[in-house]
Amino acid sequence: MNFKSLALKALYAPILVAVSLSSCKKDNAVTGDNKGDFSKSSSAYVDSRVAPSVTRVLPNVIGGNRTLSRDTTYILNGPTYVTNNSTLTIQSGTFIKGRLTSTTTTGQPSYLLITKGSNVQAVGTSSQPIVFTSIAAAGARRPGDWAGVVILGNGLTNAGLRPIEGIAPAYVSGFGLPYPSTIQYGTNVSEDDAAAASRLSFVRIEYAGAVLEADNELNGLTLGGVGSATTLDHIQVSYGADDAFEFFGGSVNAKYLIAQGNNDDDFDFDQGYQGTIQYAVSVKDASTPAPQFSSNPNGIESNNVTAPVVTINSRLTSPLLTNLTVLGLNPPRGPLTGTTYGIGVLFRVNSAGTFANSVVGGFDIGSSLASAATTTFQGNFGQAFTTAGPAFATSSVSATANASVALRLVNPFNIAFTGSTAVPDFRYAAGLPAAPSASGFNYAGLAIPHPGGAVTALETPSYRGAFGAAASTRWDVAPWVSYNSNANAY
């Protein structure tokens, strides 16, 4: 996310249409894990499943409980809203495909939005991930083909109740839903939001993102006011036309996140977000087609309040981030040059937080702190082409450096938009900068429990970054992870 614009566009003229609400609906559920036809080689990172030939277009409004089953391929035809305190259950192994904006019935972008009070239970498995992707065929998928997944909750923010960005009034009122209440998130009441807790586990989101106007976009996964009762783990967002993950307020915690080839920020925090993220990796891709990069393609961007930009001290954006590997590009660097963009870790607009035990490289500026709030950097290693910045206990700076060599990771930049064999390896070589350090790991100093809620599952590995040594077991295994999604036949 870039600095947000000071105002949304003028309201569109509402177009009221009759909407049929579905209630307590289940779509031909099947039982068992139904592993399907997977590649036996985890090194290939190919998801060789074939999406079911039976397709069903989802309604634009889902007003009752519904289950999506893995024996059907579901199509998003423009906006789809889950309303009326409903639960959308998605079976493991299910494919949901978004139509391109140019082909939807209304000419509006395709996205799935879970309104306040409703929830989504999208629980895949390592062998049967749930996939949100473009309807385009293999080889033809592009960033921004569809607009992504949005979950809204009642968690605390520092700006009260507000509409999520990236959605025009006509996208809501055109389906007979009230604007702006349908797309509002946050309160000043609940941190936990247990009444409408969602779960996303072993989920991929590919080729998403949509720009309504400058600095007003939808992301791969957008979370507005989502409380700590919601569970997020094992989620990959690939080749999005904006941020990979954006957290607006709330306190949801997350583990095992992957951001690959997205054109703006990889992890973006706003509106008083206070949660914890452990084990997350991101990497840019110089071979991504247009829109390849925004004007501010940062790794991590933490803001206090945006759109309009004001300073609020009552609840600071204050993430706790540990064991992250945040990567830009290896030379040739392409557009990630200059002094105002291409930053690995950026804390600004009076945001606070902790960034610890992590690895950052491949950006011109490793880190930047433009904040009067208390920010803790602990035990990190960084590489940068021009400026390291304040985040690192140890760092390497050289305009001509090979970032891969400087970081001493196994093969972190082995990534290609069209490559069917390129597979990055983010583990470290023993004894090199990302390896254990006696002075770098003080988890007791990370102020647990976090202000966003008790962190009950924080682990304390003795290494920097998202992965251990080269011989250790990877958590980014196929087929739940696919680094070559444009080659997948589904």
Summarised one tens digit per residue, pLDDT across range 26-56 is: 454 333 333 333 333 345 688 999 999 999 9
Structure tokens at 207: 């080729």
Assess whether pLDDT exceeds 90 at residue 312: no
Assess whether pLDDT exceeds 90 at residue 447: no
Is residue 186 within 8 A of residue 226, CB to CB? The reply is no
- β-sheet bridge partners, residue 469: 428
Of 28, 27, 24, 26, nearest to 84 by C-alpha is: 24
Query: With DSSP H G I counted as helix, E B as strand and the rest as coil, what are the percentages for the chain, rounded to 5?
Result: 5, 35, 60
**Is pLDDT larger for residue 354 or for residue 207?**
207
Dihedral (CA of 295, 301, 302, 307) sign: positive
Distance between CA atoms of residues 344 and 333, nearest Å: 14
Structure tokens at 419: 């490559």
Dihedral (CA of 475, 477, 480, 486) sign: positive
Distance between CA atoms of residues 319 and 18, nearest Å: 42
Assess whether pLDDT exceeds 90 at residue 13: no
**Is pLDDT larger for residue 66 or for residue 378?**
66
Is residue 41 classed exposed, middle or buried when 0-12, 13-18 and 19+ CB atoms within 10 A define those classes?
A: exposed
For residues 150-160, give the mean pLDDT. Answer: 92
Domains and CATH numbers, the chain: 25-29+51-487 (2.160.20)
Distance between CA atoms of residues 407 and 329, nearest Å: 12
Structure tokens at 152: 């809204």
Distance between CA atoms of residues 116 and 331, nearest Å: 44
